[in-house]
A = this chain, B = another copy of it.
Amino acid sequence: MTTKRVTEPTTIDEIPTPALLVERSVFDANLAAMDAVRPGSELRPHVKAFKSTAMAARLSADGHTGFCCATPREVEGLVAAGLGQDVLLANESLDVGRLGALAQRVDREANITVAVDSDATVDAAITAGIRSVLIDIEVGLPRCGCDPTDAGRLADRARAGGLDVRGVMGYEGHLMMIEDRSERIGRVESSMRDLLAAAADVGGDIVSGGGTGTFDTNTWCTEIQAGSYTLLDTDYAKLDLPFEIALNVLGTVVSKSAKGWMIADTGLKSMAMDHGNPTWDGGDVFFLSDEHITLLPPDIDQWSVGDRVRIQPAHVDPTIAKHEQMWLIDGDDVIDRWDVDLRHW
């Protein structure tokens, strides 16, 4: 946890806007709900969702000491923060310079594993001095991952180059948002069958996959890569998951019109739009521009310029990546400031 600075806000009213708020009680409940199903090493929290070593430290204290990253910067930051015990770069990289710098960080306190899915990425890992890899398998999502039938060959190539092949990973991202639970289970099973077939060819102990949407229905992986569950967003909230929205974007009403709309300072530079408009429980969201959101409350006369609003983003990961910090709150009190210190690449 970071220590709150002396000059920093102690109540929500003192926070400059736009700003990210994390409601502690909801956050704590989300972590408890996950721990009940995926305790300790059965969960490898994905820090791409929140990009904060302060939050990662909390998860580590809860027993989730292995982490999952999407960028070299996230790996570097976790290791520097003393959270590098078992860090997986769950992404391919051809950047031998940056992989090499990561490899230099491995010691008694830090262990870094990198995903590979091609001859080129295996060779980059070897050249960079990386010691451990997972073979990344395509399990239906048109993104990274080798064909399952090629996994054994890649593992052989990696081992011939001196790499420790710890197992496989595969992300069934295309199945996260299936609303019907039984359909989700069936399709995840089919997808994971491909992953387990590859795992048999590859060897090693790890079968890594899953995410917030399949944290409980994916019972085939040895560990689940989930991050969004910590804070949730309106997209995941549509599913039957035991997590609630802990993240809001705090704004100030800077203008209102007798025509019925009002404007807050939580524009699209403060909020990701790739999953559509955010949600406001005080009325409708009309549209967003760079630094503004136009809101349509049922009764404009009940609102004043200077009022505060809380907006719920549709996609938590890229929303957080736009901000320098999150404010942990309890009621009206500011409890802590979490730097979003793992941003960029």
Contact = CB atoms under 8 A, between A and B. Distances in A.
B272 A94 contact: no
A183 interface: no
Interface in A236-290: 252, 254-259, 261, 263, 265, 268-270, 272-274, 286-290
A255 B147 contact: no
Given A147-B258, A257-B138, A321-B322, A252 B294 contact: no
A92 interface: yes
A324 B305 CA distance: 33
20 contacts: A16-B95, A48-B290, A91-B291, A92-B254, A92-B255, A118-B256, A120-B304, A120-B305, A121-B255, A142-B287, A142-B294, A143-B255, A143-B292, A268-B274, A268-B318, A269-B317, A269-B318, A272-B273, A321-B322, A324-B344
A28 B273 CA distance: 31
A53 interface: no
B263 A143 contact: yes
A313 interface: no
A117 interface: yes
SS class, residues of chain A in contact with chain B: loop
Interface size class on chain A is: 35 or more
Contacts of A70: 290-291
A147 B144 CA distance: 53
Given A272-B273, A290-B317, A142 B48 contact: no
A306 interface: yes
Nearest to A97: B16
Given A94-B306, A273-B273, A290-B48, A261 B318 contact: no
Contacts of A259: 142
A94 B272 CA distance: 25
Give the top 8 A-B pairs by smallest Cβ distance, nearest first: A273-B274, A120-B305, A92-B254, A144-B255, A70-B291, A94-B306, A268-B274, A269-B321
Contacts of A120: 304-306
A93 interface: yes
A236 B1 CA distance: 44
A150 to B, nearest CB: 9
Given A305-B120, A324-B344, A254 B288 contact: no
Q: Most chain-B Cβ atoms within 10 A of its Cβ — which of A252, A265, A286?
A: A265
Contacts of A16: 95, 98, 345
How many copies of this chain does one complex carry? Answer: 2
A17 B71 CA distance: 11
A241 B205 CA distance: 59
A289 B18 CA distance: 24
A172 to B, nearest CB: 13
A18 to B, nearest CB: 6
Q: Most chain-B Cβ atoms within 10 A of its Cβ — which of A258, A259, A263?
A: A263
A45 interface: no
A49 to B, nearest CB: 9
A129 interface: no
A100 interface: no
A16 B142 CA distance: 24
A100 B254 CA distance: 17
